[in-house]
Every structure is written in C-alpha cells, then in structure tokens.
Amino acid sequence: MQFKPLDPPRKFEVSGAGLKLELADCGSLDLNPDEQVTFTTDSGGQYDVTRKSWGFYATPSINGRLKSFGLRGALVVSKFGKIFLMLVEAGKESEFFTYINSDLQSFLCWLDEDQEVERITRLLKK
C-alpha cells in the first residue's frame, strides 16, 4: 500500500441537480492485490475496500458486515439517470434523505433489508 497525500488538498466544486458543493481531494491510495483499507466514522462505523487482481470489492457484504459496522447501503438515482451506491450511517437516515431530496435524487431501496435483497434477486432472475 502506498498513500500519496495532496498537500494542500485539491479543492473543486461539484454540482448535482440541486446542490453545489466544494470537495477536497486529499490524495490517492494505491493498493496491491489482496490488500485492504478500512475507513471509519466518529460513531464507530467501518467501511472496507479490498483490492483484488481483477478489481475491487467496493464494500463488505452490504447486508452483513457493512450493516454490523453501522452503515446502511442505499441505492439512489440522480435526476440525470446516474445510479449511486451510498453508505448511510445508522441513525442519520433523516439527514441522508434531506441531502438526496435537496439534490433532486430519488431513493430506490435499502440494501440491508432482507425483503429488499429477496425482491432484487427475484427481479434479476427474470
């Protein structure tokens, strides 16, 4: 693993359908195959990214380990038809919905609820 910090961070503006935000790019992290990094939240939530020779596991199991780490997977679609997988801290769902509504995004489903996983599985099998 090699971290390449950007000091100072590169700041740039991003725009959605209803929001303009400034982000700070703090650097890049290069992982070799079979290396993992864990991102954490102040509330104790954890999010793992694992590099494989073929690409990445972008999340731990969404309805298993991720959920046990205090994060909920949500599928969201933007006004422009772009699909996003968002990770929401448990207990901050209201703040999440305020954010996506203000950016004119649509909530599709939670990915940590068994009935949603079963519904999606059925749809994909058709």
* Positions of the chain with pLDDT lower than 70, given as ranges: none
Q: Which two tokens stand for residue 67?
A: 């959920």
Q: pTM here?
A: 0.85
pLDDT computed for residue 121 by the predictor: 86
Spatial neighbors of 82 by CB under 8 A, at least 6 apart, are: none
pLDDT computed for residue 117 by the predictor: 85
Rounded Cα distance between 29 and 24, Å, is 15
Residue among 63, 60, 61 at smallest CA distance from 49: 60
Kindly report the average pLDDT of the chain as a whole number: 93
